[in-house]
A and B are shown apart, each in its own frame.
Chain A
Amino acid sequence: MAFSPEQLERYSRHILLREVGGKGQQKLLQSRVLVVGAGGLGSPVSYYLAAAGVGTIGIVDNDRVDLSNLQRQILHSTPEVGQPKVESAARTLTALNPDVKINTYATRLSPDNVQEIIAGYDLVVDGVDNFPTRFLLNDACVMAKKPLVEAGILRWDGMVMTIQPGVGPCYRCVFPAPPPAGAIPSCQEAGVIGAIAGVIGVLQATEAIKLLLGVGQTLTGRILTFDALATRFREVAVKPNPNCPVCGENPLITELQEYELACDIRGNLRKD
């Protein structure tokens, strides 16, 4: 497939890179990435993936844009308050790069739909706002052997890890089960610095692009944490956990389940 003159110009700074080149850019244009959540993390992730020319981007979110989102969710703008986030996201991303096909899923991930949705993508990026969906997505990706770029933010802190099932540890190898109900405040309750979503989301986008190109060393088996108050990154090496309930030697979780009951119901009902 040859580049159009517009594509050659648009992606010229990628094509100049030895690790990308024309071949790598073609690979990106043929890639399919699912971004779960069109919020704080999903915004920078999908923005940069669309700019990079990732050919197909799926966006999952069942919320509408709220004024309190705009402090960090840069996909959405003031006139779009009240609109479904997936529609606002599709408009923003298509305006940035009409090369990219945007698939929208105005739904909440559940054990009934997650496998079907992730099946059509090369990799998944987690930008969800609650623990039940985070664990569900990890389990579904482990079972489908689908790479997952995982991240979370709270207050002034963030973390990123890349999960390559069968290659390195999964989310449950490190965090075996959701925290007890109400133990962890949500961003709505605790607050979050908007720019943290940018720092962490852009790291996720970079990890995704490296995985698609097959270059460099990803955060597989490493958790990167960021303390914005101290401006300090820290790397924690983590190994696959032989007792992991989903990818260990004797997995207890062999089919997907809904984790709502184990978690903070408030976290699931939040409009954020």
Chain B
Amino acid sequence: MEILLNGDREQVAAGTSLLGLLEGLELNPEVVTVSVNGRSVAGQDLASTYLQEGDRVDVLLFMGGGF
């Protein structure tokens, strides 16, 4: 199925969780926040939240620097 990942069309297997998506991207879930269709998903819900066809998924990196 197709999702919109960070603005780009992306094919993912049906039944993929957000945690699975991050693992596939080799991203440590601790250093990002994920929003699905504009709503932020809590870290503990990443494993139990499954992607749906057409979801708009944005992965945002923590950026703490003002530096």
Contact = CB atoms under 8 A, between A and B. Distances in A.
Contacts of A184: 31, 62, 64
Contacts of A192: 65, 67
B49 interface: no
B60 A223 contact: yes
Given A176-B40, A176-B42, A131 B28 contact: no
Given A176-B40, A234-B6, A40 B64 contact: no
A154 B61 contact: yes
Contacts of A238: 35, 38-40
A179 B31 contact: yes
Interface of B: 6-7, 28, 30-31, 33, 35, 38-40, 42-43, 58, 60-67
B45 to A, nearest CB: 10
A42 interface: yes
Nearest to B56: A237
Given A174-B40, A176-B40, A179-B31, A158 B67 contact: no
Nearest to B39: A239
Interface residues of A, number: 45
A5 interface: no
Contacts of A127: 66
Nearest to B33: A175
A241 interface: yes
A153 B42 contact: no
B66 A267 contact: no
Given A225-B60, A236-B58, A183 B66 contact: no
B67 A131 contact: no
A154 B39 contact: no
A174 B33 contact: yes
Nearest to A42: B66
Interface in A190-204: 192, 197
B66 A241 contact: no
A179 B33 CA distance: 10
A87 interface: no
A55 interface: no
Nearest to A184: B62
Nearest to A45: B66
A180 interface: yes
A154 B38 contact: no
A131 to B, nearest CB: 5
Given A127-B66, A129-B67, 6 more contacts: A40-B67, A128-B66, A154-B64, A159-B61, A238-B35, A267-B64
A41 B35 contact: no
B53 to A, nearest CB: 19
Interface in A60-102: 72
Contacts of B63: 152-154, 157-159
Contacts of B39: 238-239, 241
